[in-house]
Amino acid sequence: MSQTLQSLVEQHDTSAYCVGAPDRAWLTYGHLAHQATQVANDLHAFGIALSDRVAVVLPNGPDMAVAYFTIAQAACVAPLNPGYRLDEYVFYLDDLGAKAVVIDEAYDGPALSAAKKLGLSIITVHSKAEAGAFELKCTDSTPLMAPSGEPTPDDVALILHTSGTTSRPKIVPLTQGNLAASASNIATSLGLTRDDRCLNVMPLFHIHGLVAAISATFQAGACVWCAPGFDALKFFGWMQTVRPTWYTAVPTMHQAILARAPRNKEIVETTPLRFLRSSSASLPAQVMKSLQASFGVPVVEAYGMTEAAHQMCCNPIETRKFGSVGVASGPDVAIAHETQSVLTSGVGEVVISGENVTPGYENNVEANQKSFFEIDGKRWFRTGDQGTFDDDGFLFLTGRLKEIINRGGEKISPLEVDDVLMDHPSVAQVVTFSIPHDKLGEDVGAAIVLKEGQLVEVKEIKAFAADKLAAFKVPKTIVILDEIPKGATGKMQRIGMAEKLGLL
């Protein structure tokens, strides 16, 4: 039965902690419920109705976490990256049809300028002593009272944009039911209880942090401590202070943490960790094994995307498989023909169906026609990922369909090449990508970061790859970098990498 965000938390112990942060007292579930009521009353007083879009531009931390969760119960919340520039804010705010923008009381950046340019209401956040407790004020002199009302599971609660690496970003609406279902799926797959404590370092303008770290924690009646962003230099200090039972991150964050783990061994050994979670990009098996050896707990890889309100598959904590994104963990997951609307076996496009899946892209008939199909009344969503199941039901991804390299008709999985190059003893990070070729159409390129203190020539790495890969899969071009360019959420993006590195 479909739920709403409010229904996830209404039965919890009101005295239990739910949100923490540096230098602020813990917020309880009782205070979270009071905050949600106050936010709803304030938004309605400011003229914001249940169907109105409210953009939120706040730094990572407890106020952002609670603003997301409470505004989503009274309107449609649209978190935006605080790092955007003026033109980006103008585009996203206009594209969303935002009615108001929520910013910190001291903020004087481009989001404010964009809001004024578009004539939007400006709502400011005034923090209180408890983590995530705040007062809202509106700069409009005479706002009109909006009608109040309780959201239903079918009401849109959250709006996010896709990354738009190859086309105009698409608007993804997620309903109350989508978010509640995904939060429950994650909490169940991880076995979360009220005794768990999450250390959140994920950005809170992205589905991973919003649902896996915040919503799933709230669903379980547990607590989350919100860092002001990811910082590998501060991570172990936070761990010592917070004593988390788990954290969730993208692979590049895990790798940065792993590099500092040996010098923080005592903190690791005295922290009551139960597991680590990785999602949003493929976690190299080599990194997973090193994480498990360093932290002494299971590393759980999960598979998610915005259109699924995050999680689709997850490795069970007890039975994990290296290189797999796990078993179906919430929605139904299957393999479909890449161009025909039929389910199949073997290697094909990963498709999903379930309560957590978006109703469809907003104002984009063409994208919906390409992305959704029905079989016997059941609606399936095409993820754009290629993969296959093993006999135990574990899903193995071979790459994004758009990222598969077509070298003169030979199809190459970037993930396969990544995996081989990561086995080189001097390699710390790698991303394989397509480079345009005048005769073959595409060729293979790779960007590599070496381990600290290592020196190795490109020809040696190519020779290493040639011993393990067919000749056509060996990267023609390898670039050794101090740091691989990443997107706003810390993911390495294959599409456009050749251009970013000047290899066109």
Query: Whole-angstrom Cα distance, residue 55 to residue 92?
Result: 9
**Is the pLDDT confidence value at 390 over 90?**
yes
Is pTM beyond 0.85? Reply is yes
| pLDDT 10s digits, 407-430 | 988 889 898 999 999 999 999 999
Q: Which residue, 121, 154, 187, sits at the end of a domain?
A: 187
The domain of 485 spans 403-500
Give the pLDDT score at 490.
77
**Residue 118 belongs to a domain:** yes
Q: Which residue, 147, 170, 187, sits at the end of a domain?
A: 187
Placement of tokens 């039975």 in the chain:
319
Give the pLDDT score at 504.
79
**Is the pLDDT confidence value at 168 over 80?**
no
Query: Whole-angstrom Cα distance, residue 226 to residue 202?
Result: 9
Contact 351, 368 (CB under 8 A): no
Q: Which residue, 187, 211, 226, sits at the end of a domain?
A: 187
**Residue 64 belongs to a domain:** yes
Query: Whole-angstrom Cα distance, residue 204 to residue 81?
Result: 8
| pLDDT 10s digits, 207-260 | 999 999 999 999 999 999 999 999 999 999 999 999 999 999 999 899 999 999
**Residue 253 belongs to a domain:** no
| pLDDT 10s digits, 453-464 | 999 999 999 999
The pLDDT confidence band at residue 165, using thresholds 50, 70 and 90, is low
**Residue 96 belongs to a domain:** yes
The pLDDT confidence band at residue 398, using thresholds 50, 70 and 90, is confident
CA distances to 40, 76, 297, 489 from 205, rounded to whole Å, are 21, 14, 28, 9
Give the pLDDT score at 406.
85
Question: Which CATH number is 42's domain given?
Answer: 3.40.50.980
Query: Whole-angstrom Cα distance, residue 504 to residue 481?
Result: 17
**Is the pLDDT confidence value at 493 over 90?**
no
- For the chain, give the mean pLDDT: 94
| pLDDT 10s digits, 435-475 | 999 888 899 999 999 998 999 999 999 999 999 998 999 99
Give the pLDDT score at 141.
65
**Residue 344 belongs to a domain:** no
| pLDDT 10s digits, 84-138 | 999 999 999 999 999 999 999 999 999 999 999 999 999 999 999 999 999 999 9
Question: Which CATH number is 409's domain given?
Answer: 3.30.300.30
For residue 119, which amino acid is it? G
**Residue 81 belongs to a domain:** yes
**Residue 153 belongs to a domain:** yes
**Residue 312 belongs to a domain:** no
Give the pLDDT score at 55.
98
Instruction: Please give the average per-residue pLDDT across 186-205, as a whole number.
Output: 97
Mean pLDDT is lowest, of 11-25, 157-171, 474-488, for 157-171
Give the pLDDT score at 408.
84
User: Under 8 Å CB-to-CB from 402, ≥6 apart: which residues?
Assistant: 166, 384, 495
For residue 168, which amino acid is it? R
CA-derived radius of gyration, the chain:
23
Q: Domain total for the chain?
A: 2
Closest CA to 220 of 2, 12, 4: 12
Query: Whole-angstrom Cα distance, residue 417 to residue 430?
Result: 9
Closest CA to 478 of 442, 438, 435, 436: 435
